[in-house]
Amino acid sequence: MNIDAEIYLKQLFGFFDGNPDSLRSLIGELNKEKFYEKIRDAVYQKVGKEEDLVLSKKHMVDLIKELWDEEQGSIQEDKIEFIDTFFKTDFGFFSLN
């Protein structure tokens, strides 16, 4: 257990728990607990590599895509277009503010 990682995760999960609409707009109908587990795993991988703990927007999108592939089937990467801080998909726009 890494105290810095746990603080970061508590703040991140606290934000999503306190703002369920933001979480829903980010992950849609995907499983929240599985999403949190993927975030936790990614943060602890960064701890092992002694990297900055904060997940980038791209890393977060990759986690969502990975979870989507597991739960819903593969999504074609050419269907995702990055526009500044917003991401355009066939499902609409979403942001990782």
Domain ranges of the chain: 3-95
CA distance 79 to 40: 27
Model confidence pLDDT, tens digit, residues 57-80: 889 889 998 998 888 776 555 555
Q: Is 30 exposed, middle or buried (0-12, 13-18, 19+ CB in 10 A)?
A: middle
Q: What is the mean pLDDT of residues 38-43?
A: 96
What is the chain's mean pLDDT, rounded?
Answer: 83
- pLDDT greater than 70 at residue 14: yes
Burial state string for 68-87 with b = 16 or more CB within 10 A and e = fewer than 16: eeeeeeebeeeeeeeeeeeb
pLDDT of residue 25: 87
Longest dimension (CA), the chain: 39
pLDDT band of residue 97 (cuts 50, 70, 90) is: low
Q: Two tokens at 45?
A: 């991988």
Given a contact cutoff of 8 angstroms between Cβ atoms, the answer to whether 88 and 43 are in contact is no
